[in-house]
Structure 1
Amino acid sequence: MDCLRSIRKNRWKGPRKLKKITVLVVVTSFLLIVSFADTSDDCRFPAIYNFGDSNSDTGSVSATFGRVTLPNGRTFFGKPSGRYSDGRLLIDFIAQKLELPFLSAYLDALQPYFRNGANFAAAGSTIQPFDVKLLEAGFNPLTLNIQLSQYEQLKDRTNELYNQAKTSKIKSNLPIPEDLSKALYTLDIGQNDLHFFLTTMKVDQVKPSIPPIINQFALAIEKLYQEGARKFWIHNTGPIGCLPVLVIAYPPKPGDADQNGCIKSFNEIAQEFNKQLKDRVSELRTQFEDALLLYVDIYSAKYTLISEANKYGFVSPIEYCCGDHDINCWNTAIVNATNAVCKDASKYISWDSVHYSEAANHWIANRIVDGSFSDPSIPLNKACRKPL
């Protein structure tokens, strides 16, 4: 009876509180929608400037050290495209999502087009400065520092040429100077640094080598910020222990293989690298309050695909389409070795034991562009404005 009286006495309080809560939720949701509204007038990236390694190289190494030959490029382009894949890379799908043309490699002198950005990524590049040991291990000198120098030169030359140009035709292939601060700056690098460490030292020696690399990565972001960059799309590194080239060369010891056949200890190093990178990006956010730094968890996106390969129509993630134990698909020798190339690359996650196939890149791109793997969780096509 006392309980009934209490209910009657307070029967209107609940609904009133509920009304207030409902109004608050609706208003908050409305503000969030307005904050991330996708309008063609004020929420569009005019350009992309990309820095990285072979995962996003669209022609730098091909133009500099020798053309990347067929069968690379066969699926989408139908010809060599400068990419270490049968088709498009993540950076290509990102450009398409933003309704921008594919990025021209900065080092490709033939028909360059930089109005909508440029790609400085180069296969074999590292975050750490280049030295003799890296050269002996097969990596190239186009490190992240060099890529930043190339960007600075592009920026300086653009300002000079724009001021000197007397016709619109001369300007048509150049970046628009005021667009540089409005562009998206993407970074996808670090895999080669870990590859170098894991293949030249014991696994337990690698962890102490990570902090200096993260420092170099952070300095690159700081330098780009000082040059006017304000919107960053930063990829962490993928599950390196799942690359077929490493699984074959360094078969996991008992207890060191996961359910997908990947090398657990190698993936743990990648996860440690990613943890430190995420922490540093978080610190940079407090330092650069007027910038938007999106940390994209490529590792989780790729590992999800690897773990559910059969579900999405792929063969075992340790298999690869192009090359075999004697022929590496990234070498020119593969041109005449057609028997070493699979018929349907779309069934493979790995194209050549190191790089992902177009089908895998497409799957991953579809998962990351909506912001579900990003911190903060902002869709790519809404990232041109910092949230309120």
Structure 2
Amino acid sequence: MFLLSYSNLSSSTMKILAVLLMTMSFISLGFSEKVASNSSDSDHPYEAIFNFGDSLSDTGNFLSSGALAFPVIGKLPYGETFFRHATGRCSDGRLIVDFIAEAYGLPYLPPYLKLTKGQDVHKGVNFAVAGATALDAGFFYQRGFGKILWTHDSLSVQLDWFKKFKRSLCTTRQDCDKYLKNSLFLVGEIGGNDYNYAAFAGGNINQLLATVPVVVEAITNATSELIAEGAVELVVPGNLPVGCSPLYLTLFQSQNKTDFDENGCMKSFNAFAQFHNKHLNLALDTLRNKNPHVRIIYADYYGAAKRFFHKPGHFGFSGETLLRACCGGGGPFNFNNSARCGHIGSKACTNPSIYANWDGIHLTEAAYRHIAKALIEGPFSHPPLRSSPFKIP
């Protein structure tokens, strides 16, 4: 991950920068496609899923693009819970996108950059790239900090990949419309890295807050482009409650009790996530009014995840471990930047299922499962997703 010197920053600036560290993107490795169900096609509300975003859903594109800065993601303990080997996912097991695919009887999405000739891609493809931004790389170069970007494969680049890829899916406009009408498009989570890079470059509070509208605009423009390509059902997620993350709780420890809510999460970090989510919701409302024939679904990641901290036992989590990472190098929240998960000095817990956080930044399979369940079964998708033929246990 990127590190920033905080010694010359004010306490208020430190708080806002911490929020902007959200969704740090790590390397992903590809894995073999696996079919989640053998049920007939008639049982499937969606024929395919197409995913765009960053490390919360990347299944191998970042690594395939040549970015090898964090190879630990390609070895155990990553992937230990479900796959029993490292898959490249930034977790101990499956991600939200994996559970969504399972719920609709579709295969896990193969990464676009690892597709092979003759591979069956009609059930969906993953275009997400760890480290990706909603804004194009040029935005950051114009402001003098483009060199710190992990990848240039921004959301618009991912859209270009899809447009090129679309030619292999269908030939006529009629065939494409019919096929895409029954496909689900996941547009993010994306945008967290845009704030990260600006923060690392020393942007002040006003500059960082001013970035929210242009980031949201980039997300909604991408959504609009997909609609123009034929998408009629799209899910656009908001940001997670980053103030509950071991990373932020470790880097920005405070002795002031008023900085924390009743669950021990930092208020300022979560406030920024909510600020982004509010602007995104308003923009999606405008987009819905322009496209009444399309279902644009807001996925409330924040609300779905915040429940863990209100009633951890209800979700199988331990209250004692809820703010700690399962895999890390020690400290109050088991996050040590010099001994991150997978590095020398780190150790994974014996039971990830009672932890919500995996490595200090990303969540465990258990947490991702509960979020996916909340999106599909309700009430954290607005409007609701189609009914799933398979229940997430």
TM-score bracket, shorter-length normalisation: 0.7 to 0.9
Helix, strand or coil: the match of 1:279?
Answer: helix
Superposition TM-score, scaled by structure 1 size: 0.77
Give the structure 1 partner of residue 97 of structure 2. 91
Distance 2:53 2:288 in 1: 21
User: Does the alignment pair 1:322 with 2:327?
Assistant: yes
Q: Deviation per CA, 1:101-133: give whole Å up to 9, x if none.
A: 100011114585412010011111111212346
Give the structure 2 partner of residue 150 of structure 1. 161
* Partners of 1:317 and 1:349 within 8 A in 2: yes
> Where does 1:298-313 land on structure 2 (aligned, <5 Å)?
298-313=301-316
User: Does the alignment pair 1:120 with 2:140?
Assistant: no
CA shift in 2, pair 1:158/1:52, >3 Å: same
Helix, strand or coil: the match of 2:235?
Answer: strand
1:256 to 259, 269, 277: 259
How many percent of aligned residue pairs carry the same amino acid? 31
> Where does 1:84-233 land on structure 2 (aligned, <5 Å)?
84-109=90-115, 112-130=119-137, 131-132=140-141, 135-137=146-148, 139-159=150-170, 178-188=178-188, 189-197=190-198, 200-203=202-205, 205-233=207-235
* Partners of 1:129 and 1:145 within 8 A in 2: yes
User: Does the alignment pair 1:281 with 2:284?
Assistant: yes
RMSD (Å), alpha carbons: 2.7
Distance 2:148 2:251 in 1: 15
Distance 1:292 1:46 in 2: 16
* Partners of 1:348 and 1:359 within 8 A in 2: yes
* Partners of 1:234 and 1:296 within 8 A in 2: yes
Larger Rg, first or second structure (1 or 2): 1
CA shift in 2, pair 1:113/1:264, >3 Å: farther
Give the structure 1 partner of residue 21 of structure 2. none
Amino acid in the other structure paired with 2:358: W
Q: Deviation per CA, 1:68-122: give whole Å up to 9, x if none.
A: 3122111111122121111000000000111101000111145854120100111
Structure 1 segments unaligned to the other structure (5+ residues): 1-38, 163-174, 383-388
Give the structure with the higher percent helix: 1
Helix, strand or coil: the match of 1:118?
Answer: strand
Distance 1:150 1:318 in 2: 38
Distance 1:251 1:136 in 2: 29
CA shift in 2, pair 1:106/1:159, >3 Å: same
Distance 2:296 2:158 in 1: 20
Give the structure 1 partner of residue 272 of structure 2. 269
* Partners of 1:50 and 1:187 within 8 A in 2: yes
> Where does 1:318-357 land on structure 2 (aligned, <5 Å)?
318-324=323-329, 325=336, 326-329=338-341, 334=342, 337=344, 340-357=347-364
CA displacement at 1:43 relative to structure 2:
6.5
Q: Deviation per CA, 1:231-254: give whole Å up to 9, x if none.
A: 111111111222211221122462
* Partners of 2:327 and 2:346 within 8 A in 1: no
Structure 2 segments unaligned to the other structure (5+ residues): 1-39, 330-335
CA shift in 2, pair 1:351/1:42, >3 Å: closer
